[in-house]
Amino acid sequence: MSEVAAEELKALRVEIDRIDAGMHALLMERGRIIDTLIAIKTRQGGGSAFRPAREAAMMRALVERHTGHLPLDTVESIWRVIISTFTYVQSPYGVHVDVSRGEAAMRDSARFHFGFTVPCAPHASAGAVIGAVSAAAGDLGLLALDQGPAAGAWWMSLAGANAPKVIARLPFVERPDHPAATPALVIAKPLAEGAASREVVLEAATVDRWRNDYHAAIAALGGEIVGNAAEGVGLSLLVARPGALGAGAAAAALAKAGAVDARSVEIGAHAARYDGSKLRPRGASRG
C-alpha cells in the first residue's frame, strides 16, 4: 500500500470515529430528553409510554429518507431498539411472546423489534399471552397472527372493555426479504386516547356460519378477514377494516352477504402497514 493510500485510509478512519462519537453523543442527548419527559409525566400522574401512532410516523419517515448501501434491515432494527429501549427507560415493561407456532421465528420478531434490554417471556399459547398481559401493569404481548385451528377464536379474549387490545401489527415495513417476517400482532392494555393509531381497526365478528361471499364483502370495504374459528354454535371472524369506517360497518357488510344475526366488537387498531415490496434489495443504493 502506498503512503498516500495509507494516509487516506487513516483520515477516513478518523472520520468514522468522529461519526461514531457523534452518534453516541446524540443517543445520550436523547436520554437526557427522556429524563425530562419522565419528570413531566411524573408530575402529571404518569401514563403509558407507548405511542404506536407516533412510532409508525417515525418509521415511515425513516424508510422514506433512507439511502445508500447500509441495508434498511439494519437501520430499521437499530431504530426499533432505540424506540423500545427508551420506552423501557421511561416505564419498564416486558414482552410476553407466543411461541406456539414456532419459537425461533417469534424470538426473531421479538428481538428485532424490541432488542435485548426489554425482557421477553415465552408462552405456549395465545391465551397464555393474553392472560399475562391482563395480569401485568404495563407489559406487551406478541402473538403470531396465524395461530392454526387448534387455537380457536383466541381474539375473542380481547373483546371485553378492559381486556388487552391490539396496538400494532408487525412487521410494519413489509417486504419479501424481511428478517423478521412472521406476521404478528402486539397487544397491550387499553392506551390513552390519542396514543393509538386507528388507520386499521380490528373487529371480532360473530356470524352463524361460513359463506364464500364474506371475503368479497369485507374486501369491498377495503378490509380483509385475517382469521376465522368456531365460536359456540356459530363462527367468529377476525376482521381488519379501515379505521375511517364507522362501528358496525363490518357486521353490516357480513349481513348483506347473508350472515344471520351478524355482530362485531372492536378489539384494537393499528397503523396501516408500509408496503416495502418495491424497496431496493438489501445493500442496494438509490443511485
283 band by pLDDT with thresholds 50, 70 and 90: very low
**Lowest-pLDDT choice from 24-28, 241-245, 246-250:** 246-250
Residue range 148-203, pLDDT digits in tens: 777 899 999 999 889 999 999 999 999 888 999 999 999 999 988 888 899 999 99
Of residues 142 and 90, more confidently modeled: 142
Instruction: Say if 18 falls within a structural domain.
Output: yes
Instruction: Say if 15 falls within a structural domain.
Output: yes
Residues 63 and 184 in one domain: yes
Residues 109 and 154 in one domain: yes
Q: Return the pLDDT at 47.
A: 59
Instruction: Say if 284 falls within a structural domain.
Output: no
Instruction: Say if 25 falls within a structural domain.
Output: yes
pLDDT above 90 for 249: yes
Residues 58 and 183 in one domain: yes
CATH number of domain containing 93: 3.40.190.10
Residues 191 and 224 in one domain: no
What pTM does this model have?
A: 0.90
Residues 16 and 143 in one domain: no
Instruction: Say if 281 falls within a structural domain.
Output: no
What is the mean pLDDT of the segment spanning 129-144? 95
Residues 12 and 117 in one domain: no
Residues 56 and 192 in one domain: yes
Number of domains in the chain: 3
Sign of CA dihedral 249, 251, 255, 261: negative
What is the mean pLDDT of the segment spanning 30-39? 89
Number of helical H runs and strand E runs in the chain: 7, 11
Instruction: Say if 28 falls within a structural domain.
Output: yes
Q: Return the pLDDT at 44.
A: 65
A 10 A CB-CB count for 45 gives 6
One-letter amino acid at 33 equals I
pLDDT above 60 for 257: yes
Residues 140 and 110 in one domain: yes
Instruction: Say if 13 falls within a structural domain.
Output: yes
Residues 60 and 184 in one domain: yes
Q: Determine what percent of the chain is predicted with pLDDT higher than 70.
A: 94
* Cα–Cα distance, 22 to 14 (Å, whole number): 12
C-alpha cell at 272: 396501516
Domain of 30, in residue numbers: 1-46
Residue range 70-83, pLDDT digits in tens: 999 999 999 999 99
Instruction: Say if 282 falls within a structural domain.
Output: no
